[in-house]
Amino acid sequence: QLQFVESGGGLVQPGGSLRLSCGAPGLTLEDYAIGWFRQAPGKEREGVSCISSSDESATYAESVKGRFASVRDNAKGMVYLQMDSLKPEDTAVYYCAANLMRRRCSGWLAHEFGYWGQGTQVTVYS
């Protein structure tokens, strides 16, 4: 069963940085727009960023715009989320998933995404 594997999470102080990675062995990543999501305890999962497969343009949630950047390396089959200027409210489990319906990002409707991984924990503490 195809599934993303996320890595790179950890503990970091406010203002710090982390780079998350995700890949899905056996999946041709270049065929899909890839979304990053996060879920904090007691909260619903929310979309964070999405990078299109067509032109590799990326969109971001307002809460992370200017601090997070998503890039993809189709040759390596990997997508990365660079997270800078981290805040305590960024604490969550982060997931990546493939948009099974679109190659170009258009929001983060969860039902459009598949191949969810187990996620990686990001904790920003002071």
Q: What is the pLDDT of residue 1?
A: 82
Nearest to 105 by CA among 31, 63, 38, 54: 54
On whether the CB atoms of residues 19 and 10 are closer than 8 A, the answer is no
Q: What is the pLDDT of residue 106?
A: 84
∠ CA 9-15-20 to the nearest 5 degrees?
25
Q: Which residue has the higher pLDDT, 2 or 66?
A: 66
Strands 78-83 and 68-73: antiparallel
Cα-Cα-Cα-Cα dihedral of 112, 37, 97, 21, to 10°? 160
pLDDT digits (tens, 9 = 90+) for 43-78: 999 999 999 997 778 999 999 999 999 999 988 999
Q: What is the pLDDT of residue 41?
A: 92
∠ CA 57-62-64 to the nearest 5 degrees?
80
pLDDT at 2 over 90: no
Q: What is the pLDDT of residue 55?
A: 73
Percentage of the chain beyond pLDDT 70 is 100
User: Which secondary-structure segment (H or E) carries 93?
Assistant: strand 92-99
Alpha-carbon gap, residue 60 to 63, rounded angstroms: 8
Region 15-43 average pLDDT: 95
Distances (CA, A) of 106 to 12, 61, 123: 31, 12, 28
pLDDT band at 126 (very low <50, low <70, confident <90, very high): confident
Region 90-114 average pLDDT: 93
Q: What is the pLDDT of residue 66?
A: 97
